[in-house]
Structure 1
Amino acid sequence: MSSLAAVNPAFLRARWAVAALFAVNGFIIGSWAPQIPLFLARLGITEFTLGLLILGFGLGALIAMPAAGYVIGRQGSRVTLTWFAFAAAFGLIVVVAAPSVWTAAFAMVLFGGLVGGMDVSMNANAVAVERSLGRAIMSSSHGFWSLGGFAGGAAGGLVIERFGALAHAGAVTVVALAVVALVVSQLGGDDRPEPHERQPLALPRDPSLYLVGLIALFCMVPEGAVLDWAALYLKEERGASIATAGFAFAAFSAAMATMRFLGDRVRDRFGAVKTLRVSALIAAVGMFAAGLAPETWMVIAAFSLAGLGIANTVPIAFSAGGNHPGLPPGAGMSVVTTIGYSGILVAPSGLGFVGGHFGFAPVFLGVAVLLLLVAALASYAKAAD
């Protein structure tokens, strides 16, 4: 299979097409990060209320992810990803244009659903493309997600300061639609099942799959903490400007992207379990440092270190879910991503409450503890190999 893939340009086009959609998804989410302080000020809400609105994002994702997994089991990842990719391009502008707290709550649920459904679909498609190519692409695919997040976070603050929040959201929508329209025809991954192979609408029973989901959750809560609260932390507790605050998630994403492009080779050399364990320990050190550092540049550097560590933890968990024995990629992937993204449902309000009352430094110290638990659970991700 791998020798055929080396000379089959359709497989290579499919690989770059799914990579581009990972980048689009990251770009949309990264563009949300610098919008958060202005979103809070425009609606006149507290950090706790903002956490409740972000809770809606997680709720939308939790609704859409199992649904996306079911559709993938019926239609395949290529068709499902195409639908969600086009729809997700409109997610940010719907949130930014919301005129009140209640409409913003609905918009956040929709935003989370569209981005979450796209997330499951693109990861399932990456697993299918891996099988076509005969080699791993999951970590580097997530590297493209991080590049998109870096571009969205780094450019977002500057564009918002010059042109305003709504103009920025409109530009994000146009860019995302253009890329999606350009690449969807090249998507591959022939994973549409035959009618007799379709999985019933039921939860998998293997408990080890849910432990892999727990690993994903403990990795995604720290990642979500940086996305949702790092800019506010730098602005309000370290005195950074809006543009500088946007670089917190940008630096985190850039570090993740760098390491994720090396991740497939690292995993091949050391194995998924050892890579996951060491990565989680590095990320924990970075999060501890971010919570303790007194200067803006030190905090950004600490987030970069955390990004290096977190980089390959989520791809390993997703790859373990997508390659779980006895399940199609969409079924295993939807379980792991749903549990992982449930951290977005539970964590924001709690983190916002802690941040609003005690500051956000304790938040980053707390999420470092979750990464220590990931190191302890790493052996359950062995299916990623």
Structure 2
Amino acid sequence: MNLRPASAHDAVSRWVNGILLIFTLLGLGFGSWLSRLPAVRDHVGASTFEMSVYGLCLAVGSLVGLMLSGRTISKLGSRRALALGVVAQAIAMPLATTLIWSGALIPGLAVLFCYGFAFSTSDVAMNVSGASAERALGKPRLPLMHAGFSLGSVSAMGIGALAEMWSIPVPVHLTAVFLLIVVVGGFSLRLIPPDSETSGADAATPVTTHSGPIPLPVPAEAAAASAAAHPIRPHSPWRDPRILLVGLIAMSMSLAEGTAADWLPLSLADGRGLANEVGALMLGIFYVSMTGTRLVGSMILSRFGRVPVLRGGAILCGIGVVIVILAPVTWGIVIGTLMWGVGCALGFPVGISAAADNPKTAVRDVAAVSAIAYTAMLVGPMAFGFLGEHIGLLTAFWALVGIALLSAFVAGAAREPKRDPETERPRPAPQAPPAA
């Protein structure tokens, strides 16, 4: 029996809320680890190089998970992959911190690698399910979901500060946080419909009474001969020019975000002579502007559409970076930082929405765009650090301006698919023709 329209809408709304909770919980978990890194360093007496090894193990695990996430989620389904990923994170992070805290460094780093793998797989799965929920709702919601991740991370910083003030050991703190994540995550997953587990399923596609042409039966021999003459290659997002361009858009804005997170305070301290606390304040301004933009991003996208938002955001980001590089006064740097954060805020979530336009290939397309964007966010800032070592960080930021303008130039690749006038549902995004 079919659901009534109101009931179907309520189910999709619950789905959106469930994924929003998952985004927030994953931000809380990852932010909790970041918030206690100074305490871990002080307890084990690690050097800066040793702490970078911790980050490298987690990053490598994340990259491996991203590369395999398309196959993993296609096989398990997004909800099951999320369930396993949340449980794996809840086991891996407390265990990793306990091992490192007790001096068992090598096993701790191995488990930290596993956490990175589970985290990135869960990240792609929640983006796939979030994009499907957004498509079913018919309204943009991924910016709001990514704002939930940011709010979870910010909340984790506050909780971490309290844990530090009360001298709570890191393993105890993170065990409590991830126990909460498992409990609330279990409730959130119940809001996600099982239909979303099948790759490419559209849980909210309505049943229509429209009858199209009646297909005539094709003899088995003729079907086999046709298949042999025209073999169908399995879909690969890496051969789809549109997905690669969407990945370039997400990569550009993720690189702008990651570079600001890693280098903005230091670049202002070294290049403009600002105090360390002022540089930290600028980073806070950047994050507030980015999170605020994502909170209202759904409304902005509904009003203007993807391409103008992406193009305008990329140009605004580029102008903001130029102002940060050139502004001789603090208030000018504040304006530039605000423009930088607002401009790059919607690039990644809108890129994920665009990658999921075709329900039949959404899982692997979203995984590919996520892999491109997260690789840029993880590896790109390291390249800027190397470049900044030779020419200065502020000078190195000129490369971000060029990348942002390139993103604006190719923004048309993320255009919304045309709607079918008979069903009022979005048509799948065009695919590249198969290679000969």
Q: With the length of structure 2 as denominator, give the TM-score of the two structures.
A: 0.72
- Following TM superposition, by how much is the alpha carbon of 1:259 offset from its aligned partner in structure 2, in angstroms? 1.4
Pairwise CA distance, 1:169: 3.8
Are the structure 2 counterparts of residues 332 and 194 from structure 1 closer, same or farther at C-alpha, using a change threshold of 3 Å? closer
Equivalent residue pairs, number: 377
Counterpart position of 1:131: 135
2:257 is paired with a residue of what secondary structure?
helix
Between Structure 1 and Structure 2, the one with more helix by share is 1
Shift, 1:381, TM fit: 1.4
**Unaligned stretches of 5+ residues in structure 1:** none
Aligned to 1:58: 59
Alignment partner, residue 403 of structure 2: 370
Distance in 2, Cα, partners of 1:347 & 1:367? 10
Distance 1:349 1:229 in 2: 10
Counterpart position of 2:291: 257
Q: Which residue of 2 aligns with 1:176?
A: 181
Please, which moves more after superposition, 329-338 or 33-42?
A: 33-42
What CA deviation, in whole Å up to 9, does each residue of 1:289-317 have, x standing for no partner? 55567899986775444222222111111
Gaps of 5+ in 2: 201-231, 419-436
SS at match of 1:43: coil
Q: Does 1:276 align with 2:310?
A: yes
Q: CA deviation at 1:335?
A: 1.0
- 5 Å-filtered alignment, 1:191-270, equals 191-193=196-198, 203-204=236-237, 205-229=239-263, 238-240=274-276, 251-270=285-304
Checking the alignment, whether the CA contact within 8 Å between 1:55 and 1:345 is kept in structure 2 is: no
Paired AA for residue 329 in structure 1: A
Higher relative contact order (CA 8 A, sep 6+): 1
Which amino acid in 2 is paired with 1:60?
G
Question: Could you tell me how far 1:282 is from its partner in structure 2?
Answer: 2.0
Residues 23 and 147 in structure 1, CA contact (< 8 A), matched pair in contact too: yes
Residues 224-276 of structure 1, C-alpha deviations (whole Å, 9 max, x = no match): 234444566689975446xx877665543432232122222222222211100
Of stretches 314-323 and 338-347 in structure 1, the one that deviates more from structure 2 is 338-347
Q: Which residue of 2 aligns with 1:26?
A: 27
Q: What letter corresponds to residue 297 of structure 2 in structure 1?
A: G
State whether structure 2 residue 346 is matched by structure 1 residue 342: no
Q: How does 1:322-341 map to 2 (within 5 A)?
A: 322-323=356-357, 325=358, 327-341=360-374
CA distance in 1, matches of 2:329, 2:161: 20
Greater Rg by CA:
2
User: Offset at 1:94?
Assistant: 5.4
Of the candidates 104, 116, 119, which is equivalent to residue 115 of structure 1? Answer: 119
Return 160-169 or 128-137, whichever deviates more: 160-169
Assess, with a 3 A threshold, how the Cα gap between structure 1 residues 183 and 191 changes in structure 2: closer, same or farther. Answer: closer
Structure 1 residues 29 and 375: CA distance shift in structure 2, 3 A: farther
Secondary structure, in 3 states, of the residue corresponding to 1:135?
A: coil
Q: CA deviation at 1:284?
A: 2.7
Q: Which one-letter code corresponds to 1:12 in the other structure? A: S
Pairwise CA distance, 1:193: 3.5
Partner of residue 144, structure 2: 140
CA distance in 2, matches of 1:350, 1:38: 28
Whole-angstrom CA distance in 1 between matches of 2:113 and 2:58: 5
- How far residue 380 of structure 1 moved from its aligned partner, in angstroms, is 1.6
1:146-176 CA deviation, whole Å, 9 max, x = no partner? 2223323455445435536725544543443
Write out aligned runs for 1:346-357 (5 A). Answer: 346-354=379-387
Residue 431 of structure 2 corresponds to none
Rounded to whole Å, the distance in 2 between the matches of 1:107 and 1:247 is: 34
Corresponding position of 1:77: 78
- Structure 2 CA distance, aligned partners of 1:144 and 1:288? 29
**Matches of 2:268 and 2:161, distance apart in 1:** 13
Distance between the aligned counterparts of 1:296 and 1:181, measured in 2? 46
Cα distance change of structure 1 residues 192 and 118 upon mapping to structure 2, 3 Å threshold: closer
Aligned-pair identity (%): 25
- CA 154–331 in structure 1, closer or farther in 2 if over 3 Å, else same: same
